[in-house]
Structure 1
């Protein structure tokens, strides 16, 4: 599953609700990929997102920054929902 939702624009409760739906839709060996913009990475909402991903998935891999994207972005590859 791939998402381009603007996670940093959502409240913590909205993020939690959406991520719960994602986890419910995935198979036990499923994967979820989403991206975030580097300039927003240290906002409260972005930190909440990463903490939530790490609590909901067995593995979360953060890509290197994609500087050729405007604005620069990074990708979260999340595998095996817990």
Structure 2
């Protein structure tokens, strides 16, 4: 007896930028340390850069939530 098989559904991935959903890694340690040093940044600014999927948006959202910063759309 064979069944219909497993059905695959195309659900969009859930996106969460909550701090609880961030997985700290060695690759993001320096960025996390810089974000923790706010408001002592040189010139009051900080740029995050790195490859796609590195966690830049997630880290920025965590920082914005912690500091109650306004988030501007890209």
TM-score (norm 1): 0.34
More strand by share: 1
Structure with higher Rg: it is 2
